[in-house]
């Protein structure tokens, strides 16, 4: 099982809850839930890093639309945490007058945002 602080653990929890809820309310067949679970297990190995998972995450709901809400939730959470970390790091760099590093950090942040 993944560490409780990783994106993988949170994603696995969300997917498990989603499947159980949809099965309980008869919104998904047992066969479809099994296919979805097998797909997730095949594409998300236990040793996957958060960085690799964040690259894979947007594609997870391409085959299984049921995952769209989970994917959206985790992408938004990751982006917020990433943005908050960049803001904190930028603030610390400015405080210590490391303006070149601030420029590079913010340029990297915005170029990454444009790629997504």
Q: What is the pLDDT of residues 53-92, one digit of tens each?
A: 988 899 989 989 999 999 999 999 988 988 999 999 999 9
90-114, pLDDT tens digit by residue? Answer: 999 999 988 899 899 888 888 876 5
* Residue 95: inside a domain: yes
* Residue 58: inside a domain: yes
Residue 36's domain spans which residues?
7-115
Domain count, the chain: 1
DSSP for 61-115 reads: HHH-GGGHHHHHHHHHHHHHHHHHHHHHHHHHHHHTT-HHHHHHHHHHHHHHHHH
51 pLDDT more than 90 = no
* pLDDT computed for residue 104 by the predictor: 92
* pLDDT computed for residue 3 by the predictor: 64
* Residue 34: inside a domain: yes
Q: Give the global pTM.
A: 0.76
* Residue 1: inside a domain: no
* Residue 21: inside a domain: yes
How far is 65 from 79, CA to CA, in rounded Å?
21
**C-beta of residue 45 within 8 angstroms of C-beta of residue 52:** no
């Amino acid at each position: 099982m993944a560490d409780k602080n990783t994106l993988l653990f949170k994603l696995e929890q969300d997917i498990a809850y989603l499947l159980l809820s949809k099965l309980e309310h008869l919104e998904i067949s047992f066969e479809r839930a099994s296919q979805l679970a097998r797909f997730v297990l095949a594409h998300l190995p236990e040793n996957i890093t958060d960085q690799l998972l964040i690259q894979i995450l947007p594609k997870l709901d391409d085959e299984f639309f049921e995952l769209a809400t989970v994917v959206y939730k985790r992408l938004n959470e990751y982006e917020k945490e990433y943005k908050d970390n960049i803001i904190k790091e930028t603030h610390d760099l400015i405080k210590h007058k490391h303006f070149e590093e601030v420029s590079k950090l913010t340029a990297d942040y915005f170029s990454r945002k444009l790629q997504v």
